[in-house]
Chains A and B, each alone.
Chain A
Amino acid sequence: MGMDYICTINYEPLKFVRFVSLFFIAVGCLNEPDCIITSTNLAKIAFVNGKNIREITFDEIRVSGLDKIYYENAKVSSVQLPLNPEATEITFTFTFESRVETLHLRYKTSVQIISDTCGAFTNYGDLEIIDTTFTKTEIVANQLSTNATINIQLSVD
């Protein structure tokens, strides 16, 4: 009875119903999240001299708030150093070639839930240099990510 009635009215509503149903189903199936986790607390720092990569043999690198010594007697052109999730500023102290240089960073943390099965993660962003003894610095990517090749570039003569 109801369906007969629908068929007698204007605008061919059955076509309408089919179209609208298809539209809703098609759009409703879009946008499933990917569980790709790129969150990290490691800042990637590269050293250059002009446009050339600069290899440095570090005596040590220290991170404020940690007793650990990083890159002791290591010859590298880039380093990865951790940011503290419970703070918004951190200082790195680089000792090399009879020099001591410092890099003081500020950053913000944010929380993101990717999905209930992926869980919640802390992201680090808005990275900025608020003080340094290096003569030339550049923020290449202000968001920490496992995908980012370099976050900060430091010039060393």
Chain B
Amino acid sequence: MTERRQPSRTGFDPALAGKRAECDGGGLVPGTHFAGRQEFTGTLTGEYVDHGEPPWRWYLMTDLSDKPEGFPDDAVWCESESVFLVDEPAR
């Protein structure tokens, strides 16, 4: 497999810290070639990671009040464009 390592940079956005948000998440279901959707509601910590160049930003969400049944963790990383603040203006 060709290695194409990309740098990752961490950061913190104080404007988002403590904000409640929903995440329209999901990804490739391991072992299949299908995408699977998972939804979360929780609190953004403000922490983020930018993967690669151009940066692909991911936010950390904790205190999950809504998550898939049986989801074992209390935190999840959410891709920035999949995060919707709970008090965002109506569409």
Q: Do A and B bind each other?
A: no
